[in-house]
Amino acid sequence: MLPTGETAQFIIAGSDLDRRLAVEAMFKDEHFFYQNDITWLEGVKEGEPVMSGRIILSPEWVNYLLTGNEVKPKFSPDFPAKLVVTKMNWDDLVLHTFTAEQIEDVKRWFKYHQVLEADPNLSRKINMGYRVLFHGPPGTGKTLTAGLMGKEFEKDVYRVDLSQIVSKYIGETEKNLSKIFDRAEHKDWILFFDEADALFGKRTNVQSSHDKYANQEVSFLLQRVEDFSGLLILASNYKSNMDEAFLRRFHSIVHFPMPNSLERFKLWKQSLPQSIKHHPGLNLLQLAEAHEISGASILNIVQYASLKALSRDDKTLYHDDLLNGIRRELRKEEKSM
């Protein structure tokens, strides 16, 4: 049996019109069931009665009612987003002072946004939700920052897989993105779009039907972003690639620059393994001053050098191991020392 809204009306209300209308109200957007993503009616074709849609009970709530355990949605074509988890803490993240101050602004929204949204005056004038753009070179801490905010405030962070979202077929990208926003709407999640300029890039001059639909796509994304009631983080390597209409709607734009020499020195010190012997000739300050690389690259280098050290009889980490790791990392980026 696949019960519909009409099935519920018949069982609960029979032919009593007032009670049938009361059942119909249970499936409206403002009802507790819909607001908490518990149950809703499946969409129907144009011209069909709204109540003829199937009653959908959230799989998460079904599992919770049966087992008492909350199940996280799994990555799939119907939900192209992955849960971001990290074992690191804020102390492991090395940021520029100005970047750290801007991250504190986002944290303040987390702590106090419910007060503003309940204010009799401001609640009428501000949109719910908070939109942030993280921009800067790869490996500078954008994804880690999103994960740490979720960890601190006990919110799930979902990283949207753009390869599953963007489609060459007209209308498919909007449909794929709607799957994410619809699931996240009442969950109090943090949504994280990495390499967001692939989705939220600049609109083009209309020279063909493809340009027209591409611009409609951007306009649709703009509306969904503005309507989202939680924290939405967009990350891009280049701020200049973003559409100006999006930039105007961000509450905060946070730059993640490449670390300077002092920040790199701190990253080197924090990254060295504790269980491997360090040769006295290690000169981390010299490495920090000589090589402008990101925190993610430093971790890759230390991992490579540590494996080299463990493969030798003396199990000792040498300065040359780190230098070789730097050469290897720069070669990946087609750079030279």
- What confidence score (pLDDT) does residue 213 get? 47
- Let me know: does 28 contact 78? Beta carbons within 8 Å: no
Range 307-327 average pLDDT:
93
> What Å distances lie between residue 175 and 9, 97, 286, 319, CA to CA?
31, 40, 52, 52
- What confidence score (pLDDT) does residue 171 get? 63
Whether 215 shows a pLDDT value over 70: the answer reads no
Strand 157-160 and strand 81-83: the pairing is antiparallel
The pTM (predicted TM-score) of the whole model is 0.78
- Locate tokens 């010190």: which residue? 269
**132 contact partners, CB below 8 Å, separation of at least 6:** 106, 231, 232, 233, 234, 250, 251, 252, 253, 254
Judged on CB neighbours under 10 Å (0-12, 13-18, 19+), 234 is buried
Instruction: Please give the residue that has the higher pLDDT: either 303 or 204.
Output: 303
- What confidence score (pLDDT) does residue 167 get? 63
Task: Write out the DSSP string of 183-197.
Answer: HHTTTTPEEEETTTH
- What confidence score (pLDDT) does residue 164 get? 66
Q: What is the pLDDT of residues 263-290, one digit of tens each?
A: 999 999 999 999 999 999 999 999 999 9
Q: Could you give the count of Cα atoms lying within 13 Å of 113 in the half-sphere of its Cβ?
A: 18
| Domains within the chain, CATH numbers bracketed | 5-67 (no CATH), 81-255 (3.40.50.300), 261-332 (1.10.8.60)
- What confidence score (pLDDT) does residue 320 get? 94
Range 3-26 average pLDDT:
92
